[in-house]
Structures are given as C-alpha cells and as structure tokens.
Amino acid sequence: MSLSINLGRVRNTVGTTSNYELTTEKFELTDELEVTKPVRISLMVTNNGRILELKGYINTEIEAKCHRCLEPVIIPINTVIEEELVYFADLRYVGDFSEVEVEEKFLVFDNDIFDLTDIFREYIISALPSRILCTEECRGLCVKCGQNLNIKNCDCNTEEIDPRLEILAKLIGTEEV
Ligand SMILES: [Zn+2]
Ligand SMILES: [Zn+2]
C-alpha cells in the first residue's frame, strides 16, 4: 500500500496546478484502528515558484474501540490537508531555515514520485477525537468481572474504591516485589 503522486509536471512550470484523486480500500493505521470505508483523497498542488502548495481533503471512516467499554465505535473522517512542498535541491532558495525549521514547515521531496502515505496516516490519526467513547454516558466495564455495564449490571461489590487508597495499594504492591 502506497499512495503516491507524480509532481513532475507541476514542478516544472511556475503557476500551474495539478489535481490528484487517490482511492484505496486498504489503509493500515494502527493495531487499534481499522479503516471501514475506502480512503478517498483529493489533492490540488499549485506551483508558486520554489514552493508547491498542496491542499486537499481526506474522506474515510474508522472503526476504533471505546476507551471505556471496548465496543467498536465508527468515526467518519473528513479532514483538510494543507502542506508546503519543496524540491530538495530548491531548499537553499526558499529561505535561511535550520534543518528543524525545514522539517516543521515543509515536506521535502527529491523525486517526482512522492509517497504521501505516512502524511495521510498522520492526518487521519490526528483527526480522531483524543478520547474515543461510544457515548458520553458509557459506563464501561466492571473492573472486577469485566461485564459491560451498558448492557447489564453485575453482582460485584460496586463500592467505590478511594483512588488514594488504590494508589497506596499499588505502592505497597511494588515494594513487596
Ligand atoms: Zn463505551
Ligand atoms: Zn462485575
């Protein structure tokens, strides 16, 4: 799986624009995240002199697990991509940037065929909410028996454990080792 675009034509002529439509059924994210719809990517690259401006969007759907109850959660992804691309040999013309600044500001390519798979992956992952929940009210799993408390209650002693005591218990546990 690799999602590449050919920058050859747009790179050579200032003022031109190239459009790209990419689609893939399979896209590896992480072990916990699965793509459940084809990933569709539309891109427009414009040559503004030394810098190529890339704009576009990614559209797909991700299946993740609820952080509390571990049930699958479907998350639609519609995220905008914006990057500035610079050809490696042109770097010295775009400004006096340190290596770190270049990494922060630009995507540097040294071949007309530019693989953007990792960039797309980053955009998709950062488009996900930081806390994935099936519902805000999700009751999660029983810490003792693992019962999904959204489905039914269990018979475990549900007395709240004082979090401070829990930390203490953990500390004692560590000391015993
Ligand atoms: Zn849940
Ligand atoms: Zn239980």
Looking only at the bridges linking them, the beta strands covering 72-87 and 106-109 are parallel
With bands split at pLDDT 50, 70 and 90, how would you rate the model's confidence at 59? very high
Cα–Cα distances (Å) from 91 to 18, 46, 56, 75, 85, in that order, read 21, 17, 23, 38, 10
Ligand with an atom nearest the CA of residue 159: 2
Per the prediction, the chain carries an average pLDDT of 90
Q: Which pLDDT belongs to residue 94? A: 87
Average the pLDDT over 2-22 and give the result.
Answer: 94
Q: Which pLDDT belongs to residue 166? A: 66
173 pLDDT more than 90: no
Distance 103 CA to ligand 2 centre (A): 50
The domains of the chain are located at 4-126, 140-177
Distance 149 CA to ligand 2 centre (A): 8
Average the pLDDT over 50-74 and give the result.
Answer: 96
Distance 65 CA to ligand 1 centre (A): 8
* Cβ neighbours around 141 below 10 Å, total: 18
Q: Which pLDDT belongs to residue 157? A: 74
With bands split at pLDDT 50, 70 and 90, how would you rate the model's confidence at 87? very high
* Percent over 70 (pLDDT), the chain: 88
Which residue in the block uniquely carries the two structure tokens 């490696």?
88
* Percent over 90 (pLDDT), the chain: 75
177 pLDDT more than 50: no
Q: Which pLDDT belongs to residue 47? A: 97
165 pLDDT more than 70: no
The alpha-carbon radius of gyration of the chain (Å, integer) is 24
Instruction: Tell me the pLDDT tens digit for each residue of 94-151.
Output: 888 888 998 899 999 999 999 999 999 999 999 999 999 999 999 999 999 999 999 9
Q: Burial level of 149, CB count in 10 A (0-12/13-18/19+)? A: middle
